[in-house]
Structures are given as C-alpha cells and as structure tokens.
Amino acid sequence: MDTALIKQCEAKAQEWLASPYYDEETKAEIRAMLDSEDKNPLVDAFYQNLEFGTGGLRGIMGAGTNRMNRYIVGMATQGFANYILKAFPGQTGLSVVVCHDCRNNGRMFAETVAAIFSANGIKVYLFESLRPTPEVSFAIRRLGAKAGVNVTASHNPKEYNGYKAYWEDGAQVIAPHDTGIIDEVNRVRIEDVKFEPNKELIEIIGGEMDYDYMTAVHEVMIDQDVILRQKDLNIVYSAMHGTGRVIVPLCLRSWGFQNIHVVPEQMVVDGNFPTVVSPNPENPEAMTLGMKLGTRLGADLVVATDPDADRLAIVCRDPKGEWMIINGNQTVMMFCYYIIKNKQALGQLNPTDFLVKTIVTTEVVARMAEKNGVELRDCYTGFKWIAREIAISEGKQKYIGGGEESFGFLPFDKVRDKDAPASICLICEIAAWAKDQGMTLYDLLMKIYLEYGFSFEHTINVVRPGKSGADEIKAMMENFRRNPIKEIAGSRVALTKDFQSLTATDSEGRTTKLDMPATSNVMQWFCEDGTKVSVRPSGTEPKIKFYLEVKDTMGCPDCYAGCVTRAKAKVEEIKKSLGI
C-alpha cells in the first residue's frame, strides 16, 4: 500500500484524537485502527471525506471521515440547516421532517439530525419510530415543512447507513438546491456544529400521520368492486425486517383485502437483516422465505418491500404453479397497463392525464401510452426527476403513475418518491382484477406482451475500481462519442441520443435538440430491429452500467420461453458488438 497515503490517513486520524469535539468511544476505535498492523481499515476510514451528494449521504458506519457517524451526519445537517436559513430569509416558523428506518444507529442519527435543526431555530417534526420513506415525503407536504431528512441506506447491506435529503415539495433535492446544499455542507467544520437541541422545537409525530398517509393511499384505488369480489385474494407479504411491517398490512386491510399473511421471521425489526444476504427485493434470494410460505399457504402472490419501503418486489405463479419474480420493467408495464385500461373502462381517464418513465425503462410502456392516446414523459433515472414532472404540471395536468426499472413505482401525486405501500395495494388490486377474469398476474403479463410486443431487458455492470478504473470508464464514454456506433449486433443504429450534449442524431446525420432539464453523462442507441442500449457511469460506485432492451414478436403465451431464449442469445451478441 502507498506509504504516503497511510501517513496522510494517520495524520487525519491524529487530528480526530487531538480534537475535543469527538467522544471517547470514537477515539478508542481510531486508536485501534492506528495500532493495527493492517492499515486497510484506517485508510478506508480516512482516505477521503464521505461525500454529501445530490441525494445526501450513504456509507459504511464507523469512525472516520469516510464513514457514517454522528459527526459526519452532524456536519451534513449543519450545512443543510444553513442552506435552509439562507433559502428562506426572514421567514418565521421554518420546519423540517426527520425520520429513520430499521438500520443500526438509525434512531441515534435521526435524533442527532433533529437536535441540530432545532439548535438552529428550525422546528422539527420527528417521527416517534421507524417509518417508510414515502410517508416522510408525504409528511413534508402535509405539514408544510421546508425540507426533510430520512436516515436510511435503502437496500444496501447491513454495514451501511445513509441520509436522504428532501425539499419542500417532498422530493429529493434537485438544482439549484442540490449544489447549494453541497456547497454549504463543504464549508462546515466540526466546531461549527450545534449539537445541543432546543427541545421546545422538536415535536414527536406518529399515528396521526400514519392515518393521513393511509387515507391518501386509499385514493390510488381504481376499482373497489373488484376488490370486494376478490377480498379473499391470498396475499403473502414480507417487510424485509423494515418499515413496511405495520403500514402495508394496514393499508391492504383498509382497501378490503382480508386474507393477508406475513413472513413472521422478516417482520422482526432488525438492522442486521438476519434472514437475507442483502435486503434488496431485486435479489431472488431475498424472496425465498416469502415464496416458501406462499407455497405452504397456496398464495396467489407474494409481495415484499425493502427496508425503507420505497421499492417493492412481486412474485407470481407461472403455468406450472412455480414462483416467478416479476422484474422491474415488467412491474412498470403491469401498473401502466392496468391504470390505462381500467381508468378507460370506468370513465376515469382524462385527456390531460400523463404517465412518466425513466429513459432506461422499457419502451413497451411508450408503445402502450401511444396506442391509447395517453401522454408519456421520459425523464432521467431517479424519482426526483419523476417528481419534477409532477411539479411542473401541478394544477394543469394530472399525474396517474410513473416508474423505473429498479423496482420502483409511484401511483399518485400525494407522495414525491417511490411508494411501495401504495404500489403493493395497487398490485393486489391488479391481481384481484386478473383473478376476477380467470387470470394470474403471469397470464396478465403474457397478455401485455401479446398486445404490445415482447421485450427483454438486461443490465450489465462493468466494475472498474480505483483511479485507473475511473480513467478507463471516462475513456469508454469519450470513445463512444468520438467514434459513433453505426450498428449493434447486426442491426443499424437508427437514432443516437447523447444527454451530455442534449442532441439526438439519426442515421443520416441529422440532429435535433433533446428537451431535458439538465445535461447527464448518458448515451442511448435505438436500432432498426427495436434494440435499445443505454450506457451511463454510476455516480456513486466505480462502475459503468449498460441497459439492454431486445424486442421480439410473441405469437402465443406458450411462445414466451422461446422469446426469452432468443433474447438471451441476442444479449450475448450485443455484448460482443459493444466489447463488454
């Protein structure tokens, strides 16, 4: 290991030891790292400052500048408080909402955040205990707060915690507030942090907000009658040890579902997530216990939420009665199909209604919207961009749903982030509607493919760690721009979109401008055979992501397996074509 880097990290560690602002427990952890022959933990803890990015903080818990701890959280919150006071000069009664999920140290971090905001004269609505991310977003809007913080690392492994920053619209911060907050955070020193709370400015909230949120979720329901007819739909739910454990079953019952079973081992609040390798509903392994219980109980479907209950997972039965996990793109397709079809049938669909998807999400949704005369908007990855579309049309057009491929959906506008409790209620309504017509969710998925065309999506993560890796990723993106791709896996590229220059170029070289709110280091290629390839470097990890979408014609439900086989072969051709 680089000796100079070790010395640099030792010097930073010694600064913490010499400072009167850090407690003895923290200093003991630092001494242990300094005394150890293995310098890797020391270097990892001090080689950089844990960056406050556009979404907030996320990192491994422990002592050090590159760790989630009381002091790093404190400096971030002081910077956030400073920005709020600057953003609303002279205004009295400024308030924020603060909450946390099931993660280890979550309550301590949340109370630290609340203390610092209150010490800066900002009123804090602090949830009494863990709550879902979407309820935090809802509460900010409901209470007229100027901002909010949810202490969560979403679906990351147990060693992590994090800090999501929200603005007054209930969405995660975007420009200009994101960079403004970051600038303020970067100016803060540990001695600037006001840790001593003003207890008069901290108000504990809980049950009354749960009631208001559940009432709002009820508005998502499209067809009460179908639920009444299928009230015994057999539902198995897993909370993945997190925040959905109380609210999801309550919401389902309030909608009229009466046959709800929970995975008991995963209803236990535990930041160590003892029953899963990783608490991520995208991982099939995380759904194992739910599927086992579903088999034993003869369930119609299995649903789950991640620890902060913004993402959801859906598992249905295939024709052989075996469990099949609905992937993120299929989830968005299913929601949008039902919303359009049943709002039309009930006379609830208006010309001003619109849907939103992210640019890397399946184009099947675009075809669906176009065929039914419904406006669909494309936005960047992340629900803050979906929230922006809702905000710019507020009072003029009605948002009726939006989602992204990473297992997230938002079916209404009372929340401005991914909302798993509301989405789970709606997917159970969809399952009830399908059952009412003698179908399973699998049958419904096949029906969508038959009507709008088969699509297969596959994501590839190319990991390139370290500075050399970052340089390699940068060079890959530069090469894509310098040497335009003309064909992919034997199909001519009909359109290239570059979101850094905000230009779209067709195969004849004609260019048009892309209407997006900001630039982004993303490229997309649309081929004549319907293939779509998107590429973007990760903003938080040493990797570059490729999103592949392959099309086919599916003549019958039994043709699905053959389409999947051909699509997987096509994916391999695309990988060779792109050199990945």
Active site residues: 154
Rounded to whole angstroms, how far apart are CA atoms 112 and 85?
19
Residue 301's identity, in one-letter code, is L
Q: Report residue 543 as tokens.
A: 């990797």
Q: Are 455 and 363 in contact (CB under 8 A)?
A: yes
Q: What is the 3-state secondary structure (H, E, C) of 153-204?
A: CCCCCCCEEEEEEEECCCCECCCCHHHHHHHHHHHCCHHHCCCCCCHHHEEE
Q: For residue 305, give the H/E element and its range.
A: strand 301-305
Which CA distances in Å does 212 have to 219, 334, 417? 11, 27, 17
Question: Tell me, what DSSP letter sits at residue 396?
Answer: T
Residue 436: C-alpha distances to residues 166, 227, 325, 335, 528 (Å): 40, 9, 22, 17, 39
CB-count exposure of residue 296 (10 Å: 0-12, 13-18, 19+) = exposed
CA dist 358 and 332 (Å) reads 10
Q: Judge contact between 316 and 444, C-beta under 8 A.
A: no
Q: Rounded to an integer, what distance in angstroms lies between the CA atom of residue 554 and that of residue 534?
A: 24
Kind and range of the H or E run holding 475: helix 466-482
* Cα-Cα-Cα-Cα dihedral sign, residues 517, 522, 527, 532: negative
Nearest to 184 by CA among 72, 303, 288, 84: 84
Pair 226, 201: CB distance under 8 Å: no
The neighbour count for residue 21, using CB atoms within 10 Å, is 13
> Which residues pair with residue 9 across a beta bridge?
none
What is the C-alpha separation between 201 and 117, in angstroms, rounded? 9
What's the CA dihedral at 419, 420, 422, 426 to 10 degrees? 130
Beta strands in 95-172 (DSSP E): 95-100, 123-127, 147-151, 160-167
